[in-house]
Amino acid sequence: MKKLFDQITVGELLDLSAGRFPYNEAVVYPDRNIRYTYRQFQQQCNRIAKSLMALGIKRGEHIALLAPNIPEWVLLQFACGKMGAVLTSVNTNYKVFELEYLLRQSDATTLIFSSGIKDSNYVDMVYELCPELRGSMHGRLNCKRLPMLKNLVFIGDESHPGIFDWQDVLAMGDEITDDELVARQSSLEPDDVINMQYTSGTTGFPKGVMLTHTNLVGNGYSIGKCMGFGPDDRLCIPVPMFHCFGCVLGTLACVSHATTMVMIESFSPVKVLEAVEKERCTALHGVPTMFITELEVLEKQPFNTSTLRTGIMAGSPCPIEVMKAVVEKMCMREIVITYGQTEAAPGITMTRTDDPLELRVSTVGKALDGVEVKIVDPENGEEVPAGVQGEICARGYNVMKGYYKMPEATAAAIDQEGWLHTGDLGIMDENGYLRITGRIKDMIIRGGENIYPREIEEFLYTYPQVKDVQVVGVPSEKYGEEVMAFIQLKAGSRVSVEDIKNYCSGKIARYKIPSYIHFVDGYPTTANGKVQKFKLREMGIKELSRYENVANLV
C-alpha cells in the first residue's frame, strides 16, 4: 500500500480496499436492511460521482450536505473524494440563520439535503432562504440572499418546485462515461482540499476548516491502526457524520482497513445496543453522554455486547468512572480515547489498545504516527519540561490547510513553524502520554488562583449519585470569579447542595469547592455532543441574578 500520509486521495483509498476485499461488507444500515460489499459500495460511489459531474460540478467546487447519517451521506463522502468536489458538512441542528451563514461563507454552489430532523424542516428552511426557487428552473437558481447557490438537490420521495430530485440526479450520471470519471479522479492531488468542517461553535462563530485528502486519509488510517482494525472488525457508528468523529474516526478509519461500517441514522441508546447485538459489532464509537445513556439502558434491559472489543470515547472530556464502567459492563476491554480538534483532522493523540487500563482512563494517549506534540507556556510560547502544564501544540500531516477566507484567524491558529495552537491545556509525561487539564478560555481565576474545571469535574464524578457534572466560572465582585457546578444526578437520587459541599470539604482545596451548585436535567450541547460551556456560564449568570441568597441556589 502507498504511503498513506501524502500520496493517496480519498477515492484511491476506497479503490484499494474494494480491490483487496471486494466481498467484505462495507456498509450496513440495520434499520433499512441495506448491505453493501466493498465492491458494491465502490460502484455506488462511482455512480454518484458521475452524477455530480453531470450536474456540472467542477473539481474544488463546494457542495453543502445537510442530512443525518442516511446512506446517501456516506456515499456522497466518497463520491466527492473521487470527483474532487469539496464536501461541506452542515450541522443537522442548524436553523435558517446558521444555514444561510454557512452557505454564504463557504461559497457553496450546491446544497444537497434531506427532509429534516426533529423540529427542523429543511425544505421549509430552503424555501425561506430562496423563495425564488418556486419559479426557477433546475440549475438556474438566482437567489438574492445566496448568489453563489445554483443547485438544490432533495434526498427523499417527494418532489419540490425548483429542486432536483435525488433519483433524477442519479439518472443524469449515465451521461458521464467511466473514462471521464477516471480522468477526473486521476487529476486530483492529495494536497487538494476535499472536505470543509465548520467549527462547532463552543467558543465563537463557526469557521470553515479546510481539510485535504492527506489530512483525512492519514488520520483515518492511523486511528484504525491504533484500534487494530482489520477486515473482520465491525464498527457501530452512531456519532454524526457532519463531524470528524463520524466521517474520519468512523468511516475513513474503516475504509482504510476494509472494516465494516454499521451505521445508526440518529442516536438512540436502544438502537445502538440492538445494532451491536444483531450485527455482532466489535467496536463502538461515542461521546461520553452516549455511553452514559447506553449503560443506563443496560441496567434495565439485557443486550449481548460480548462481541465488542474496542471503540473510541471522545468529543468531550471522558470521565474516568464512565470509562471503567464501559470496560466492565460493555466488554470493551480495548476501548481507547482520541484527543484532537477539527483543525487537526481531528486526531492528535490516542491511547492504544495494549496500553494499561490506568493509562487509558487517565490520559489521552501519545501522538499519532506522523504527528508531533509539544507543550508550551501560553504566555511566552516556550516549550515546557515534562510534567509542567501548558498549551498543547501539534504539527504534522494532519494540520488543516487553514480557515476558509479567514487568513488572520489561520495565522492566529498556526504559527510560522507550522505548529497548530489548540487552545487546550495539558501535561505530558516523560513517555509522551498527555493528560488534558482544561481549555485556556475555560480556566477560572479566583482571587489569583488558577482553577481548572476538569480537575473539579473528575472529583465530583466520584460522588455516587452524580451522573454528570460540568464546571464553569461565574463573575464575582470579591474574587473576580467563583466556581459554579452544574450537576446531573442519577435517576431517583435526592442530594442537597450541602451534601455536595460536605463531600468536597477536606478532599479538595477550599478555593476549588464550588461556591454555587445547580442541579440540572441536561446540558446545552452541540450536535456532536460537546457541552457548550459558554452557554452554561450565561445560564449561571442568569440564575445568580434571580436569587438574593445565591449560596442556597439549587
Q: What is the pLDDT of residue 550?
A: 39
What average pLDDT does the segment 421-446 reach? 90
What confidence category does residue 546 fall into, taking pLDDT thresholds of 50, 70 and 90? low
Task: Using the predicted structure, report yes or no on whether residue 554 has a pLDDT greater than 60.
Answer: no
3-state secondary structure 529-548: CCECHHHHHHHHHHHHHHCC
Helix (H, G, I), strand (E, B) or coil at 268: coil
Q: What is the pLDDT of residue 454?
A: 86
Q: Poorest-confidence range of 85-94, 132-141, 217-226, 377-386?
A: 132-141
pLDDT, tens digit, for every residue of 256-297?
Answer: 999 999 999 999 999 999 999 999 999 999 988 899 999 999
Residues 6 or more apart whose CB falls under 8 angstroms from that of 238 comprise 69, 264, 267, 271, 272, 284, 285, 286, 290
Q: What is the pLDDT of residue 515?
A: 94
- CA 546 centroid distance within chain: 36
Task: Using the predicted structure, report yes or no on whether residue 6 has a pLDDT greater than 70.
Answer: no
Residues 6 or more apart whose CB falls under 8 angstroms from that of 338 comprise 223, 249, 312, 314, 346, 347, 349, 350, 364, 365
For helices 71-83 and 38-54, give the axis angle rounded to 10 degrees.
70
Write the CA distances from 247 to 10, 165, 237, 285, integer angstroms.
12, 25, 9, 12
- Using the structure block, give the residue that is written with the C-alpha cell 460540478: 57
What confidence category does residue 1 fall into, taking pLDDT thresholds of 50, 70 and 90? very low
Q: How far apart are CA 287 and CA 372, in angstroms?
A: 25
**Listed residue (460, 442, 462) closest to 451, CA to CA:** 442
pLDDT, tens digit, for every residue of 102-147?
Answer: 999 999 999 999 999 988 899 999 999 999 998 887 777 889 999 9
Q: Could you tell me where the beta strands, DSSP code E, fall in 222-300?
A: 234-237, 260-263, 283-284
Task: Using the predicted structure, report yes or no on whether residue 521 has a pLDDT greater than 70.
Answer: yes
Q: By the 8 A CB rule, do 524 and 486 touch?
A: no
457 phi/psi in degrees, rounded to 5 = -60, -45
Q: How far apart are CA 413 and CA 420, in angstroms?
A: 6
Query: 529 or 376: whose pLDDT is higher?
Result: 376
Q: What is the pLDDT of residue 201?
A: 52
Q: What is the pLDDT of residue 119?
A: 80
Q: What is the mean pLDDT of the chain?
A: 92
Q: How far apart are CA 70 and CA 74, in angstroms?
A: 7
What confidence category does residue 396 fall into, taking pLDDT thresholds of 50, 70 and 90? very high
Task: Using the predicted structure, report yes or no on whether residue 391 has a pLDDT greater than 70.
Answer: yes
Q: What is the set of domains in the chain, with CATH numbers?
A: 10-18+32-213 (3.40.50.12780), 443-552 (3.30.300.30)
> Considering the chain, what percentage of its residues have pLDDT values greater than 90?
79
Q: By the 8 A CB rule, do 541 and 533 touch?
A: no
pLDDT, tens digit, for every residue of 190-209?
Answer: 999 999 999 865 455 789 99
What confidence category does residue 451 fall into, taking pLDDT thresholds of 50, 70 and 90? confident
Task: Using the predicted structure, report yes or no on whether residue 553 has a pLDDT greater than 80.
Answer: no
**Listed residue (287, 283, 227) closest to 260, CA to CA:** 283
Q: What is the pLDDT of residue 552?
A: 36
**Residue 420, beta-bridge partner list:** 394, 414
Q: What is the pLDDT of residue 344?
A: 98
Q: By the 8 A CB rule, do 194 and 10 touch?
A: yes
3-state secondary structure 481-548: EEEEEEEEECCCCCCCHHHHHHHHCCCCCHHHCCCEEEECCCCCECCCCCECHHHHHHHHHHHHHHCC
Give me 510's grid cell. 477550599
What confidence category does residue 58 fall into, taking pLDDT thresholds of 50, 70 and 90? very high
